[in-house]
C-alpha cells in the first residue's frame, strides 16, 4: 500500500514518535496574537481537532485554557497524552472532525493545526459551526517550510518533491482553507516566519515525520536518506543547517 492510499486516520501510526520528537512547535505569540487581534477570550474552552501529538494544544494550555484534544489516531493521541500529562486542563478523546462527540454551542474556539487538509471540509465545517458558541472562533493553523527561502531550503524542497507520494489532500490547501472559513464577517490571516538550526538527527527525523515520505524498508527510502545527508553536508555550519519555517494563522467567526 502506498502512502497515497492510506486511510487518513491511520496515516501517522508509524510516524507518531518522529512527529512528537521532531515537528516544530507553535510559540506563545500565536495565542497572544489571537487575544490581541481576534478577540479570543482568555477563558475560552478550546477544542483542538486533529490534535495529533499535542503540538497545537500546548500553547493554549500554557496560557491557562482548558483544551479538549480530539484525535482519531491512537498512536498520535497517546503521544499527546504522555507529553501533556502535566497540564490539569488538558483532556484527550478519540474522534473525527466530521463527527465531533460534543454538545452544541460548547466551545469558545475550535482549532485545527496542520490537520485541516485531512478533513472532509463540508462535514467538518458543519461540526465546527455546531459546537462553537456565538462569537466563537474557528482557527486553522499551519507550520510549514518557507519553500522560496535560501538555497538550502530550495534544495530540501526538491528532495521532498522527488521522494514524496502524491496526495490530493495537499493540493490547493490555502484556497481550501479560505473556502472553509468563508464568513460574512470575513477571514483574517497572519504569518510568522522563523529559523531553526537542526542537527542531522533532527533534520532526518523531521523529514520522516511527513506522512508522504518513505520509511525504512520502503521503496526510495535509502536513496532519499543519501540525498538528505548530501544536502545537509553541503550546507551545515558547525553541524547544523538552517531550517526556515512559516506559521500561517487563519481565523473567522462562522455564520
Q: Which residues contact 87 (CB under 8 A, 6 or more apart)?
A: 58, 61, 67
Task: Identify the bridge partners of residue 245 per DSSP, sorted by sequence position.
Answer: 145, 194
**Which pLDDT score, from 0 to 100, does residue 6 have?**
43
Is 158 inside a domain boundary? no
Place of cell 523529514: 207
Is 139 inside a domain boundary? yes
* pLDDT tens series, the chain, 255 aa: 334 334 555 666 788 999 999 999 999 999 999 999 999 999 999 999 999 999 999 999 999 999 999 999 999 999 999 999 999 999 999 999 999 999 999 999 999 998 888 899 999 999 999 999 999 999 999 999 997 778 999 999 999 999 998 776 667 788 999 999 999 899 999 999 999 999 999 999 999 999 899 999 999 999 999 999 999 999 999 999 999 999 999 999 999
Is 70 inside a domain boundary? yes
Give 76-98 pLDDT, tens digit per residue: 999 999 999 999 999 999 999 99
Residues 166, 167, 168: CA angle, nearest 5 degrees: 120
CB 253 within 8 A of CB 127: no
**Which pLDDT score, from 0 to 100, does residue 80 have?**
97
Q: Using CA atoms, how far apart are residues 5 and 153, in angstroms rounded to an integer?
A: 28
Is 227 inside a domain boundary? no
User: What DSSP designation does 186 have?
Assistant: -
Number of domains in the chain: 1
What residues make up the domain containing 181?
3-145+167-196+246-252
The cell numbers describing 60, all together, are: 493554549
Is 27 inside a domain boundary? yes
Is 238 inside a domain boundary? no
DSSP for 15-83, please give it: GHHHHHHHSPPPPHHHHHHIIIII---TT--EEEET-TTSTTTHHHHHTT--EEEE-S-HHHHHHHHHH
Is 110 inside a domain boundary? yes
Give 191-225 pLDDT, tens digit per residue: 999 999 999 999 999 999 998 999 999 999 999 99
Is 45 inside a domain boundary? yes
Q: Using CA atoms, how far apart are residues 243 and 145, in angstroms rounded to an integer?
A: 8
CATH number, domain with residue 81: 3.40.50.150
Amino acid at each position: 500500500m502506498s502512502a497515497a492510499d492510506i486511510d487518513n486516520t491511520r496515516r501517522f501510526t508509524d510516524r507518531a514518535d518522529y512527529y512528537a520528537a521532531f515537528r516544530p512547535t507553535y510559540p506563545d505569540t500565536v495565542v497572544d496574537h489571537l487575544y490581541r487581534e481576534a478577540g479570543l477570550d482568555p477563558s475560552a474552552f478550546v477544542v483542538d481537532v486533529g490534535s495529533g501529538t499535542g503540538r497545537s494544544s500546548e500553547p493554549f494550555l500554557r496560557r491557562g485554557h482548558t483544551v479538549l484534544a480530539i484525535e482519531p489516531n491512537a498512536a498520535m493521541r497517546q503521544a499527546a497524552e504522555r507529553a501533556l500529562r502535566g497540564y490539569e486542563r488538558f483532556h484527550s478523546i478519540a474522534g473525527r472532525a466530521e463527527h465531533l462527540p460534543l454538545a452544541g454551542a460548547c466551545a469558545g474556539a475550535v482549532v485545527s493545526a496542520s490537520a485541516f487538509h485531512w478533513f472532509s471540509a463540508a462535514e467538518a465545517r458543519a461540526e465546527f459551526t455546531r459546537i462553537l458558541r456565538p462569537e466563537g472562533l474557528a482557527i486553522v493553523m499551519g507550520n510549514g517550510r518557507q519553500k522560496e527561502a535560501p538555497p538550502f531550503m530550495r534544495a530540501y524542497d526538491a528532495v521532498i518533491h522527488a521522494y514524496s507520494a502524491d496526495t490530493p489532500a495537499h493540493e490547493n490547501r490555502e484556497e481550501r482553507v479560505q473556502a472553509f472559513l468563508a464568513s460574512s464577517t470575513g477571514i483574517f490571516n497572519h504569518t510568522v516566519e522563523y529559523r531553526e538550526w537542526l542537527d542531522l538527527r533532527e533534520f532526518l527525523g523531521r523529514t520522516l515525520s511527513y506522512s508522504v515520505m518513505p520509511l525504512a524498508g520502503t521503496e526510495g527510502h535509502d536513496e532519499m536518506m543519501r540525498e538528505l545527508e548530501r544536502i545537509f553536508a553541503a550546507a551545515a555550519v558547525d553541524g547544523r543547517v538552517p531550517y526556515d519555517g512559516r506559521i500561517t494563522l487563519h481565523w473567522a467567526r462562522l455564520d
